[in-house]
Amino acid sequence: MRGGTVPDLPLLPAGHNTARSALTCEYRCGNSCSHEAPNRSLNPYFGDVVQRALSRRGVFKGGAVLALAAGGATLAASPAAAAPAVTSGGRPSRGLDFEPVAPNTADAVTIPADYAQQVVIRWGDPVLAGAPRFDAHSQSAKAQARQFGYNADYMALLDLPRRRGHQLLVVNHEYTNEEIMFFGYVPATPTREQVEIAWAAHGLTVLVVRADDCSGRLWPVTGDALNRRITATTPIRFTGPAAGSDLLKTNADPTGRTVLGTLNNCGGGITPWGTVLTGEENFNQYFGNAVAVTDPVAKARLARYGLPTGASTRKWERFDDRFDIGKEPNEPNRFGWVVEIDPYDPTSTPRKRTALGRFKHEAAEPRLTRDGRVALYMGDDERFDYLYKYVSTKTYKKGDSRAAREHNLTLLDEGTLYVAKFTGDSPAAEIDGTGRLPSDGEFDGSGEWIPLATGNVSHVAGMTAEEVYVFTRLAADKAGATKMDRPEDVEPHPTTGRVYVALTNNSDRGAAGKVGPDEANPRIGNKHGHILELEERRSDAASTSFSWRLMLVCGDPEDPSTYFAGFDKLKVSPISCPDNVAFDPHGNLWIATDGSALGSNDGLFVVPVKGSERGHVKQFLTVPKAAETCGPIITEDRILVAAQHPGEVTGATAENPASHWPDGPGNIPRPSVVTVWKDKRR
């Protein structure tokens, strides 16, 4: 559809959207936001610094933090929400000259005036040669394995140097929504065909796309030799220090070195050597029957990763024993990893990199250290879980020679895995030792990267290195890491190297019997999330200490507990629940949201991180009903987003869908990739 703001669309009644759909919770995160957070370790908290955090820089004044916890004003109730668009108070930063869209609940992708959009590819569209056209009433596993998968999340766009106008689009397919995929679906008794379609709809797609010369349109090149589908049954190799461990061995794989498939692929990253990393997130939801495990150590490990004791939601264990923990107790250990994929070689075997640890991986975003090694920043998306970093032992080799490529493909197999500990109110100069701040502005505290393991050496008392990698959450508990408000994407700035950490929300923060606030997670009942800005010591990604400060504390700007890097709150767009983040070519931070608690659809926002416009949050688009904004990719030519799980509403079915996007009335919703561009004709 053509662009345009939607100022007059009715907003949901106050509070309508503040409770997440039960269906969303079940499928997206295995009820991670409603079940007991599986982190019950007793790490120390910064009770003595909480008050300093609340008063620092006037961010939180007059008990505002507690006021938010008690009320949490919704956007619909806010006068600020009625404003059709937020206007800039000054000259826009480069690339940000657009009028923000208004919050809305339209079943559409809504974009600024003067922009245009196109759906690039939908769930079920053909990818591989011979794939049939999508037919919602005649789906098959054989067809799905050659078609675009469900629920696109992270996307990477890579160059194809010898093919002008063509690029490679790599897309994660995080999970499936069976109730709105299949007509006649009965959750208690799924058919084998439905289960096998779901297996084929997971994983990734590698797709050649062709750019239009005169617009931002992108066209899929169906059947291209580079196109590929990776699914829940594709053979994948374990590499690194835990490969071959007894903890990874099963009846089907007594070597512990090959696993079938990748599941719940959420965020990701692109390496300097042109491979794609994809994080396996809520893998726990695919396994059933943990109740059969009686050994107390094994039970504790399963519980820490949230494995269900009863049947799984999708009942896959009825169709393949590997999803039955009672029959294959090590199979869950084979998920929850970062997978490296070479998109330029469709015959290559993806690798699960055990040196990067096992948890609910969101993304793995790289930055080179000063001496040329590679650092990866990684979040574990669970309430009260942790922020991690990996630093390779060997250095990156430039160039695309075969030798350089083979060398670089070993960089994620040997290094040190760290977890973050945040401390409040300690000037950066103290840890730098130079007596000066490492960058402009004021920091809220310092932090350290605590080593967990290096190669085959464990740094955690009472755990072997293999145990550290396979049960990383337990190792981080022992190390005294800081419990965070759901670390999602973590993105180093392409030029400054500062690291931006999206913390989606944590409704349990400070609840009765739960962990209270600390300076890095300062808000009780954190419904709207926040973003931290980290500066590594000497700006070196290899450092073991850093400074940090609050960049954004999200919500309705009328809410006194929000903070927009000091920018005038009268001029910013409301924003809630930051998830995927990415930088544009000008160094502005783009933020995709998931689960907005402000009564409007989720969206894509942009904020400059430096200069006079730092903190000026502007909403660029909204996604359809009940969808989550994913991707995103921002180039000079276009903005790509994935609209994940449109119509994911409790009680919705294929017969009675809550969304008809993108095909319109009479159709079931289809998660899709959308390109948006500045329409020069207008």
Which residues make up the interface to ligand FEO (CB under 6 A)?
A: 174, 266, 281, 362, 381, 488, 579
**Residue 174 binds: one of Ca ion, ligand FEO, none (C-beta under 5 to 8 A by kind):** ligand FEO
- Total Cβ atoms within 10 A of residue 292: 12
Beta carbon of residue 281, minimum distance to ligand FEO (angstroms, whole number): 5
Cβ 507 to ligand FEO, closest distance in Å?
Answer: 15
The nearest distance, CB 302 to ligand FEO, in angstroms, is 20
Nearer Cβ to ligand FEO (239/580): 580
Interaction of residue 491 with Ca ion, rule CB under 5 A: yes
- The C-alpha atoms of residue 602 and residue 627 are separated, in whole angstroms, by 7
The nearest distance, CB 590 to Ca ion, in angstroms, is: 9
Nearer to ligand FEO by C-beta: 282 or 458? Answer: 282
Rounded least distance, CB 269 to Ca ion, Å: 7
Indicate the residue among 266 and 378 with the shorter CB distance to Ca ion.
Answer: 266
Phi/psi at 546 (5° precision): -155, 165
**C-beta closer to ligand FEO: residue 124 or 267:** 267
Residues numbered 257-276 forming contacts with Ca ion, rule: CB under 5 A: 266
| Residue placing its CB nearer to ligand FEO in the complex, 11 or 503 | 503
Sign of CA pseudo-dihedral 343, 345, 354, 479: negative
Minimal distance, residue 7 CB to ligand FEO, in Å: 30
Closest to 14 in 3D by CA, of 625, 599, 650: 599
Kindly give the pairing relationship between strand 457-458 and strand 445-454: antiparallel
Span 411-440, contacts to Ca ion by CB under 5 A: none
User: CA 75 to CA 98: how far, in whole Å?
Assistant: 22
Rounded CA-CA distance 524/180 in Å is 35
From the list Ca ion, ligand FEO, none, which binds 491 (C-beta under 5 to 8 Å, kind-based)? Ca ion
Distances (CA, A) of 542 to 185, 376, 456: 50, 10, 20
CB of 488 to ligand FEO, least distance (A): 5
Assess contact for 265 and 278: CB atoms under 8 A. yes
- Could you tell me the smallest distance in angstroms from the CB atom of residue 284 to ligand FEO? 13
**Alpha carbons 325 and 292: distance in angstroms, whole number:** 7
Nearer to ligand FEO, 266 or 419 (CB): 266
Q: Name the residue type at position 546.
A: F
* Sign of the CA dihedral with 180 first, then 185, 189, and 190 last: negative
Cβ-based nearer residue to ligand FEO, 324 or 381: 381
Q: Does 489 bind Ca ion (CB under 5 A)?
A: yes
Nearer to ligand FEO, 443 or 590 (CB): 590
Q: Which does 413 bind (CB under 5 to 8 A by kind): ligand FEO, Ca ion, none?
A: none
Where do the H-state alpha helices sit in 109-260? 141-144, 178-181, 192-201
Question: Which of Ca ion, ligand FEO, none does 281 bind, CB closer than 5 to 8 A by kind?
Answer: ligand FEO
Q: Least distance in Å: CB of 91 to Ca ion?
A: 27
Task: Name the segment binding Ca ion (CB under 5 A); options: 25-33, 129-137, 403-411, 483-491.
Answer: 483-491
* CB-based contact 280:337 (threshold 8 Å): yes
**Region of 310-318, 416-424, 576-584, 635-643 interacting with Ca ion (CB under 5 A):** 576-584
| Closest by CA position to 362, among listed 386, 328, 330 | 386
Cα gap 126→123, rounded to integer Å: 9
**Residue number, 320 or 602, with CB nearest to ligand FEO:** 602
Which residue, chain included where needed, has tokens 């030792």?
A: 433
Largest Cα–Cα separation, the chain: 69
Region from 100-108, 236-244, 581-589, 631-639 binding Ca ion, contact rule CB under 5 A: 581-589
Encoded tokens for 220: 């899929």
Q: What amino acid is encoded at 398 in this protein? A: K
- Residue 579 as a binder of Ca ion (CB under 5 A): the answer is yes
| End-to-end CA, the chain | 15
Q: Which residues bind Ca ion (CB under 5 A)?
A: 266, 488-489, 491, 579, 582
